[in-house]
Amino acid sequence: MKIRRLPCFTHFVTLIVRAEVVKRQNGFCHKCSGAIGQFTEEWMLIRAKIVKCAPLWSLTIFLALVVSGLSPVALAQDAETVSEAAEKDTTEPVFRVSKLNREKAPTKLASSVAVVEATPNMGQVPAEMLTPEAAVAGEYPSAQSPAVQNHPLDKAIELATNGLAKMRASVSDYSAILVKRERVNGVLSSPSYMRVKVRCPRQTESGTTPFSVYMKFLKPRKCAGREVIWVEGQDDNKLCVHESGIMGMKRLHLDPDGWLAMQNNKYPVYDVGLENLMIKLIEKAQRDKSAGMCEVQYRDGVELMKRECSLIELRHQEKKAPYDFHKAQVFIDKELNLPIRFVSYDWPRCPGAEPELIEEYTYAKIALNQGFTDLDFSPDNPAYKYPSR
């Protein structure tokens, strides 16, 4: 049997449409229904032949197109065009797609550009994240970490770190006049003046040099003449103290953290010295940097005790943890490259009030590398005033 093509489909669809029209206007039409049924039997025989030559889905699509009134020829042309576009989309680089989208809706594409954060495994920025200009050029910029904002304390940390490294490399000991003033239990003390000798802890070829301190109080008058020696790891890490007056008839061995040794003192004796000061400054700066932003000023050409210094001034406007001061100043000696003064102030008690002093430490008349020996940190030194026992 020869298969009829388009006339059969047209006739079949015409009968369906006519039957549907009659059904909606006059109710169900048995005449049309019978005609459709007769044609359906004939069509089933034809369909059996068509199935052998073409997939069922092609026949179904063709029927749907005829019912909808579309031209099969026009559809074939459109389908060919769509197929070519789809093939191009899958074979061309992704940035070409961005170019096509930009031509259709440039405003929408520009607003959809995202910020890409770099990851350890990222080699290139995803193409969909490219700017329109980069998409047109076909460029694939390498992924980089987002720009990290510099913290105001970075320079201060660098200066202190470099100073600490230089001191550890070139300074073994030093002498100085230390001026100290501290607020303890809410009471600000009078300035204390003391002559200090400090031997830095070092590891040398001849062995380990322990951290050693000798202090002789000069002012105020009630403390004048007091002597203190502390050597790390010696005498059970206790202080050897010689008091002035009647109390100076015997050597006292005190716990450096005990209440008697800490009386009117904010820190124990083993925290004294320039090296410890730099370590504390670095710790505080790194802590404050992690807590957030702050105000930092750097000034050169500042004179202190007739010595040229650089000044670092740090301010915390908000009183919150972990900050322990409102304002702090560090004076760095330009010649020695060492901090010779540190002072900090508390937040004002009320608006308009002046900040109150918390603590201040100043090192004057510094003399480096004096060649101190164990005798300089012994109560048996004949130059000291320690009693025999």
DSSP string, 186-217: TEEPPPEEEEEEEE--EEETTEEEPPEEEEEE
- Residue 127 binned pLDDT confidence (cut-offs 50, 70, 90): very low
What residue spans define the domains of the chain? 6-83, 92-137, 154-377
Whether residue 98 contacts residue 128, with contact meaning beta carbons closer than 8 Å, is answered with yes
Q: Which residues of 247-276 are buried (b: 16+ CB within 10 A; e: fewer)?
A: ebeebeebebeeeebbeeeeeebeebbbbe
Strands (E), 133-242: 173-184, 187-188, 192-199, 202-204, 207-209, 212-219, 227-231, 239-242
- Residue 202 binned pLDDT confidence (cut-offs 50, 70, 90): very high
What is the reported pLDDT for 343? Answer: 97
CA–CA separation, 346 vs 107, rounded Å? Answer: 54
What is the reported pLDDT for 206? Answer: 82
Calculate the average pLDDT of the chain: 76
CA–CA separation, 164 vs 282, rounded Å? Answer: 9
CATH hierarchy code of domain 154-377: 2.50.20.10
User: Which is more confident, 284 or 15?
Assistant: 284
- Residue 389 binned pLDDT confidence (cut-offs 50, 70, 90): confident
What is the reported pLDDT for 139? Answer: 46
Strands 187-188 and 207-209 turn out to be unpaired
pLDDT at 121 over 60: no
pLDDT at 21 over 80: no
What is the reported pLDDT for 143? Answer: 45
Residue in this structure with the two tokens 């990290």, named with its chain if needed:
148
**Contacts with 181 (C-beta within 8 Å, 6 or more apart), sequence order:** 188, 189, 190, 191, 192, 357, 359, 360
Q: Which residues of 372-384 are buried (b: 16+ CB within 10 A; e: fewer)?
A: beeebbbbebeee
Question: Could you tell me the pTM of the whole model?
Answer: 0.62
What is the reported pLDDT for 388? Answer: 84
What is the reported pLDDT for 249? Answer: 86
Average pLDDT over residues 93-103: 34
From 204, 262, 211, select the one nearest 233 (Cα to Cα).
211
**Which 3 state secondary structure label does DSSP give 119?**
coil
What is the reported pLDDT for 209? Answer: 94
pLDDT at 15 over 60: no
Paired tokens of 186: 């809410």
Average pLDDT over residues 78-89: 45
From 296, 257, 345, 55, select the one nearest 159 (Cα to Cα).
296
CA-based end-to-end distance of the chain: 135
Average pLDDT over residues 331-358: 95
Average pLDDT over residues 213-222: 95
What is the reported pLDDT for 116? Answer: 32
pLDDT at 374 over 90: yes
What is the reported pLDDT for 118? Answer: 35
Phi (first) and psi of residue 260, to 5 degrees: -70, -45
pLDDT tens digit sequence for 153-168: 999 999 999 999 999 9
- Residue 147 binned pLDDT confidence (cut-offs 50, 70, 90): low
pLDDT tens digit sequence for 25-36: 555 444 444 545
